[in-house]
Structure formats: C-alpha cells, structure tokens
Amino acid sequence: MNDPSVHRVADEVSVQSHSLNGAEIETPPASAQLRELQKLLFDTDQQERLEQLHTEWNDPEHLAPRVSQVLPDAISQRSPEDHELTEAMTPYVIESIKISARRNPEHISDAIFPILGPAIRKAIAQAFNNLTITINQTLQHSFSVRGFKWRLEAMASGKSFAEVVLYHSLVYRVEQVLLIHRPSGILLLHAVAEAVKAQDPELVSGMLTAIQDFIQDSFGTGEGNTSSFVSDELTILAEPGPRAVLACVVRGNPPPELREEMQETIERIHQDRGEKLKMFEGDSTPFEVCRPLLEEHLKSRYQPFADPEKQKAPKAMLAVLGVLLLALGIWGFFSLRDRWRWNAYLEKLQTTPGIVVTEQDRGWRRYSLSGLRDSLALDPAKLMPEFQLNPRQLDARWKEYQAPELAEERAKKLLAPPAGVTLKVRDGILSVAGLASQQWISEAKKLAPFIPGISQFQWNDADEIARLRQEIESQSVYYFLNENKPLPGQEETIEALIKRLIRLDEIAQNSNRTITFRIIGHTDSSGTKEKNQTLSRERAQQAKSQLASRVAQLKKVQLVAEGVPDQQPLVGNQESNRRVTFRVELGS
C-alpha cells in the first residue's frame, strides 16, 4: 500500500481538520450542528476518538479497507460527470493488459477470440461490400480488363454478354468438411457430401496439419493464419482457431462468404466445446454434437456475377470499337512479322501427330492449308493463336484419315477408361492395367480390334492382384477375450475387405481362374490347446459368415475358414493374437 494517491488523500483530510479548529473560534454557535461539534471538541473522550480517527486517516493500512467500501460507489458517481477518472486509470489498465498478455498470451487470446472474430468479420464485410459495388460499376462500364475480355468473347461467340458472365460465374460444391485438433492433427469430426468418396480422412487431416506446419516453417507466416491449397479442381480452405482447424474441401471456386461462414463455425465450436478441446486426449466423441454445424457447409451454389438486366451500356461498345481500331493499326504495322509466324506455325504442324500438310499458301491477311487430318489430332486453327495468327483468316481443307500414331488417343476416346486405368499401345497391342469394372473390361475387349491401329487387347491384372493381396493380407480383425465376438469399431476394416473381395472375384472371372480366400482364426496363448482349437475355428467362422453375408454370390473366389490354435503366438502381445487374418491364394 504505497500508492501516493492515498497519502495525498490523508494529507488533505488533516489539513481540513486544522481549519475546522479555526472555524470554531470565530463563528457563533448558531446551529445545532455546531453545538454538536463543540461537544465533540471539548469532550476528552471524544477527543481521544478524534485522535484515533486522525491516525486512522493517516495510516494507509486502516484507511484502505474503508476506502475500498466506498470505492465502487465513488467511481460510479464520478464517471458520468467527466472523463478525468477514466483518463487517470487508462494507463494502468493498459499496462496490466500488457503484462498479462506477456505472461500468458493464451489467456488473452482465448478470452478475446469469440469477440474479435465477429468484429473483424464486420470490418471485412464492409470493405467487401464497397469492393463489390466498385466491381459491378466497372463491369457495367466495361473499363475492367475482364469486362473487356468478356464483351469480346460475347461478340465472337454470338452469345449475350450476360450469358458469358454467367458462364464465368462461380460454381462450387463443398464436398468435405473436417474439424481437426490442433496441434496434433487428429481428426475430430468429418462430414461428407452425398455421393462423395472420401479417402482416409484421418490421414488427410494429419497431412493438412503437416502441410500447414510446413508452410509456417518454410515461409514464416504467422501462427494461426488462414490458408488454402489449390489444385486443378479442388481447393482446400483451412480456417484455424486456437485449438482446432476447420477445413473445407471445395470443388470449383469457393466463394468469399464461405470463409466467413467457416470463421463463424470455428468460433462457435470454440465457444461451445472450448473446454473439451483443451482437455482433448484422443477421444473425439464429445465433438459429435458439432456435426450439424459442419454439415451446414456441405452445399453447392451457382452464383451469378452481376445482374443481366443492366448489361447494355453504349459506352462499352464505343470502348470495344476503339480497341479494335487500335488492334487493326498494330496489325498493319507488324504485318512483316506475320511471315515469320506463319513459317513457325507450319513447322509446328509438321511435328503434330495426326496432321499431314500437303499444300500451303499465304496471301494478304489470308492463309490456306490442305492435307490430311485425324479427327483426334489437335485442331490446326486452335494452334494459330499460339503463333499470334488469327484462325479466322485460315482457309483449310482437310481430308479425314486415321493416323496410326494416334491409336492410343483413339482407344482412350472410344473406350473411355475409368480413372486409374492406364491404356498403352505398342506394336498394335493395347495393354490395359488398373482398376476397372468387369463390364468395362469385357466391352473394351470386344471393341479394341475395331480401333484403327490396334490389333490386340491385353488385360494386365498381375499388378492389381498383387496389390489387392498385399492390402488384404495386412488386415486383421480383433476379438474379445475368449469369445468369437469382434471388438467394436472395425467396420472400416470389414468394409475394406469386402470391397477387395468383390474386386478379386471380378478379376478371377475375367482371367478365368480360381482364387482361395483363406480366413484364419488365431487365439492368444492362454487356455488349453483344445479350447483354443475350437475358439480359433469359431472366430474364423464368424469372420467368414460376416463377409459372406455382405457380398453377393462369389463366382470364382472360395472362402475357406480355418483355425490355428496359437501354441506359438503370432506376436507377444496377447490381445493382438485374438484375431483373424487373411490369405489370398491364386489357383490356376
């Protein structure tokens, strides 16, 4: 208690008490109050009390509790009148916040995160609104580069400007939403749009976290920044909060409002589940309640860019005309350069598969070509812009022919292989490998010989079988002690096994061979040999019937269940031995 302001208060009080003494001598005892005062002053008992009061006033230790009683009232009475108090206190408040932030930034960031988010968003939304208005205006008056390009495109294609704008407008679909714990990268919750296949979201979430760390480490961007990762078709938006990250996997162009919505969601989750996030130890069940929040983001949208009604601006036409005139001038000026470009273009055509040029001619702003062209070959006219030549000035006569060097492209076009299937043509043999449905394979087999340049079809299933086999044999299903009942939570494993089993059967049918799918039950080393014999067989049987009930008739794969009582256990860990494993054996 060495606050100087308290001492000052005490000094003032003692000064006042002196002047009270002086007042008593001069003033007649007119009022009752004054009489009271006199009594106080001349009564020795009272005198002692007064002295006590005096020392109390001067002793900060006694004064403090008394002041503290009136302090809140005093402040509340004072503050509305003027700003002095506020001004006096401001530096202290600021200093204390600074110290607190320095000592433990987490407290402050936890406290202000829910408020800060909305505030920042508001400011950004405002800025965005202004921006959008500007863009719209610019677009209507066609002074933006994009506006120009779109108008030119509209003129060239004969479409209305509005149509072109719509074509370029944003179409997107949020396919997956992941809630990821920070900093472990463990997946807390995962929502998937209908009919979207999501592969191992647990690994994706780990990888996303690793990538974010990687970016932070490599480019030194601050902790907690939003980020996005873009590929040709997919964008991943990551919106971090202090303890969890929300990530959206988006097909197409994600709109700006998605970011805001994601911010709101991650804030909500921190508000509702903050404590659970803090205490997270690997159990993600408490976050299941947030599922609806995540699912809200699973939507697709078609977003028109501007109002098609307002697209008729005469000014714009003038501007376009001006540019065209200018372009014409440049054209004339550089016409000499044309010759060089034309030659380069012809050279390119000569090396393009499926095109044979037999005659060519070049006149004033006019080109002519004739020869042979495979319909799969690149369009010669489309190659022209690359050489700064105008395709509209080309007069081309092509005779259709089927170039042998394009057999592979032809096969790809005609057979439409599913993703992951590779087609290769060498010496007239089409060899196909990868993951394909039975239907596609038999169709391709029938069609292949009719494709010019292809005489034979070859299906290569060795790679796929080897992969399936490795995948199947690395799986295990675990069981309760002394029971033929599997532990819960293994649906994913069963699902993966079934998928591969079905595929194996397809392949076996296709190559007309038989496959034995061995289901082997194991036990731990506790219990008698006889007991384990039975138990291992029962576990295998259980797994077999579980698989069999989920796949339709298998034609070429035979399921065999057998038990191996583990006198020599697979591994040292007892519970790991209570399991069923799988073997794939290829017949002839």
Partner 1 sequence: MLQKKICMLGSFAVGKTSLVARFVRSIYSEKYHTTVGVKIDKKQVPVEDKLVNLILWDLYGEDEFQKVHMSYLRGASGYLLVIDGTRRETLDKALVLQQRTEEAVGKLPFVVVMNKVDLKDSWEIDDRTIEELVNKGWQVFHGSAKTGLGVEDAFTALARQLV
Nearer to partner 1, 482 or 509 (CB): 482
Least separation in angstroms between CB 137 and partner 1: 42
Least separation in angstroms between CB 135 and partner 1: 35
Q: CB count, 10 Å around CB of 284? A: 15
Q: Which three-class secondary structure state does DSSP give residue 456?
A: strand
Least separation in angstroms between CB 288 and partner 1: 12
Q: Which two tokens stand for residue 370?
A: 């004739």
Nearer to partner 1, 188 or 349 (CB): 188
Nearer to partner 1, 447 or 494 (CB): 494
Least separation in angstroms between CB 471 and partner 1: 6
For 122, 233, 418, 447, 456, the CA distances from 452, given in Å and listed in that order, are 63, 33, 21, 11, 11
Nearer to partner 1, 77 or 574 (CB): 574
Least separation in angstroms between CB 199 and partner 1: 6
Contacts to partner 1 by CB under 8 A: 181-187, 199-200, 202-203, 206-207, 210-211, 213-214, 216-217, 281-284, 470-471, 474, 478, 480-481, 487-490, 493, 570-573, 575-576, 578-579
Nearer to partner 1, 352 or 475 (CB): 475
Least separation in angstroms between CB 245 and partner 1: 12
Cα–Cα distance, 537 to 564 (Å, whole number): 7
Least separation in angstroms between CB 268 and partner 1: 22
Burial state string for 61-83 with b = 16 or more CB within 10 A and e = fewer than 16: eebeeeeeeeeeeeeeeeeeeee
Nearer to partner 1, 206 or 252 (CB): 206
Which residues are CB-contacts of 372 (< 8 A; sequence separation ≥ 6)?
Answer: 355, 356, 358, 398, 399, 400, 401
Question: Cα 299–304–310 angle (5° rounding)?
Answer: 160
Nearer to partner 1, 277 or 355 (CB): 277
Least separation in angstroms between CB 453 and partner 1: 32
Cα–Cα distance, 346 to 367 (Å, whole number): 11
Nearer to partner 1, 380 or 486 (CB): 486
Nearer to partner 1, 214 or 302 (CB): 214
Burial state string for 415-445 with b = 16 or more CB within 10 A and e = fewer than 16: bebeeebebebeeeebebbebbeeebbeebb
Burial (CB count <10 Å: 0-12, 13-18, 19+), residue 200: exposed
Instruction: Say if residues 583 and 535 touch (Cβ distance below 8 Å).
Output: no
Least separation in angstroms between CB 386 and partner 1: 30
Phi/psi of residue 194, each to 5°? -60, 140
- List, in sequence order, the alpha helices (H) in 312-420: 314-333, 335-351, 380-383, 407-415
